[in-house]
């Protein structure tokens, strides 16, 4: 059985209302292409000039402008939406969770994943420094949710560099992994496609990665190249650096056949 999946690529800025308007535009375009599921990029609703801006727009789980938008768009279009990430309040008033919420085609939130691996790095190539742990509390568990298009696992951006996380998803019978991201341009140029294809090949599953692109209000430059990858590692569709959508068909029957004929996971020794 075939299913259409779309990834949205954005250059999100400092204004939530403007970002949501752009997201709505691309969601509608994906629906027009027959998408059953849409994946938004990390921080799709807000990439502030200062990281602390997210604290001003944090939402309580189950209530807020961004969550209301995602629920409305899902129900209106009878569409599953993977809501990138948004700041969800924690018990620490100075920190939030970077939460990826999944809404079903009735507009109900059916899953939540809190970004587990936080981007605290210095990038010598570009001179950039990031300290996500200053504002974000890491999650502590993987998320795999049942959907009409297979078991869906969620990872966010920097998570991509930790293959053991994806092995745990495979143990939960994952069939497609979504990766909302805001990969830096320097690291994206070097590693983005390689890592995405490796995660697909290692686990013989589909990977749908939605990225931020371009130069943002905080002068951060992101890599774009949102793509959808098949279980054998071939890239089905990619959008280089412009804003827009990328759509591909996934075939779960073919994926299961590959796993039966090439049972590499059953051969692991460690």
Catalytic residue among 157, 175, 205, 221: 157
| Active-site residue identified among 7, 36, 37, 42 | 42
Distance CA 229, CA 236 (A): 5
Name the packing angle between helices 16-32 and 65-77 (round to 10°): 10
Annotated active-site residue in 58, 115, 151, 221: 115
Active site residue 42: yes
Positive or negative, the CA dihedral 263, 266, 267, 270 is positive
DSSP at 9? E
State how far Cα 217 lies from the chain centre.
Answer: 21
Do 240 and 7 form a contact (C-beta atoms < 8 A)? no
- Can you state the angle between helices 163-171 and 193-203, rounded to 10 degrees? 30
The residues annotated as belonging to the active site are: 42, 115, 157
């Amino acid at each position: 059985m075939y299913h259409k999946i779309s990834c949205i690529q954005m250059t999100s800025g400092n204004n939530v209302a403007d970002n949501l308007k752009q997201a709505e535009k691309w969601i509608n375009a994906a629906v027009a292409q027959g998408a059953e599921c849409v994946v938004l990029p990390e921080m799709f609703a807000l990439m502030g000039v200062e990281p602390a801006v997210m604290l001003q727009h944090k939402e309580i789980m189950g209530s807020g402008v961004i969550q209301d938008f995602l629920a409305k768009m899902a129900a209106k279009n009878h569409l599953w939406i993977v809501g990138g990430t948004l700041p969800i309040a924690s018990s620490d008033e100075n920190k939030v969770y970077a939460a990826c919420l999944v809404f079903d085609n009735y507009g109900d939130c059916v899953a939540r994943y809190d970004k587990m691996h936080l981007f605290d790095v210095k990038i010598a190539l570009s001179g950039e420094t990031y300290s996500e742990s200053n504002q974000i509390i890491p999650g502590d568990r993987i998320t795999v949710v049942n959907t009409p298009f297979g078991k869906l696992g969620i990872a966010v951006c920097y998570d991509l560099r930790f293959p053991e996380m994806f092995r745990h998803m495979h143990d939960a019978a994952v069939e497609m992994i979504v990766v909302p991201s805001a990969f830096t341009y320097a690291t994206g140029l070097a590693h983005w496609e390689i890592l995405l294809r490796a995660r697909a090949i290692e686990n013989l599953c589909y990977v749908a990665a939605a990225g931020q692109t371009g130069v943002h209000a905080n002068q951060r430059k992101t890599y774009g190249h949102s793509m959808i990858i098949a279980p054998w590692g071939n890239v089905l569709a990619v959008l280089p650096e412009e804003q827009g959508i990328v759509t591909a068909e996934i075939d779960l029957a073919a994926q299961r056949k590959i796993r039966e004929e090439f049972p590499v996971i059953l051969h692991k020794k460690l």
